[in-house]
Amino acid sequence: MVERDIKVTLKSGLQARPAAIFVQEATNYVSEVFIEKEGRRVNAKSIMGIMGLAIHSGAEIKLIIDGSDELEALKTLEELL
């Protein structure tokens, strides 16, 4: 399992289209992928879960990935944020 604290730099945050792109990319990996914000953890392969976190630009989140391709997933998904 890998965890990384990340400050979201996307201008619009992780809303609508950026969230859809993130989910689409996350589903390409076998690993479980979660995003945690302010103690609330959601499945990052769920658009509704991500949208429910209301992640704005500058927000501090934790990306948690567990599985056989976790390092590759971390590298790719971190770049999207």
pLDDT of residue 67: 98
Using one digit for the tens of pLDDT, what is the confidence trace for 14-68? 999 999 999 999 999 999 999 999 999 999 999 999 999 999 999 999 999 999 9
pTM above 0.85, yes or no: yes
pLDDT of residue 40: 98
Domain with 17 in it: 2-80
- Which position has the token pair 């792109």? 21
pLDDT of residue 28: 98
Q: What is the CATH number of the domain that holds 61?
A: 3.30.1340.10
> How many independent structural domains does the chain possess?
1
